[in-house]
Structure 1
Amino acid sequence: MSIHLNPYLSFRGNAHEAMEFYHSVFGGNLILNRYDSIPGVMGDGDEGSKIMHGQLDTPNGLTLMGADMPDSMADAPDVSVGGSSVCIWGDDDEQLRAYWTALSEGAEIHMPFEKAPWGDTFGDLRDRFGVNWMLSLSDGSAE
């Protein structure tokens, strides 16, 4: 038996572009299902090309899901509201720095990826799709 927890990001018409970008950053297997792949589930007829469900599973065990909010859910919050962050942490210096570099493209940097007062290397940014990311590279002293 197993249980998993992963972010599910809500977009306003750019989920395909965002999920493809995250695929380029993290690698792995990306599955994108459009609203017109399962007629009548959600979304109006003119929303068929929007992403109903996207899932990215990476080689190192990360899972990121996302979808376009249908017009019928116009009042529901999406990633642009910025009420939460996706956090990636670990001790793989090369991989975390590569993620930071890729996510930084077109991003608003809130805190550069550098040594933090608590010893780890930490950075905080809002990517070009409005998703807040925090990356933390362990200094190894807690091991």
Structure 2
Amino acid sequence: MPRRAPQLTIQEELMPALNPYLLFNGNAADAVGFYESVFGVEAIITRFSDMGGTPEDMPEEVRNRVANAQLPLSATNILMVSDTPPGNEIDNSKPGFTVQIEADSAEEAERLFTDLAKDGAVDMPFGKVEWAEAFGMLTDKFGTPWMVNYTGNAQG
């Protein structure tokens, strides 16, 4: 008779939130509409034009793309969706997703970013951004893309 793996207890207060972040090449709005209908939730959508610092010469079609959409699936799980910015389109050489971590502090976010980036590649340096006190993007040594985030009071 096969043995069962032991039941693990996760201490939620010690774990950062992990959320799937799906990436699209200009059709994220269609995907968001589909996922809203499937999961019966309403997404919170930010378009590139809603973000500060959007270049004036950005084409209108790109300005209207989804910069970030959040579909709350439960109190702790969020399906996140975005169109890729120009020049970062998804092809067969990179995955169409990333794993997003919401850390409990800027210090913890920086530690996670540094540890995950070891022997990997930094795609966006870690630092303060408009939507978060601390944020960075990287690809770990196994090819898995990550977004490490600490929102803090940036949206307060």
TM-score, with structure 2 as normaliser? 0.43
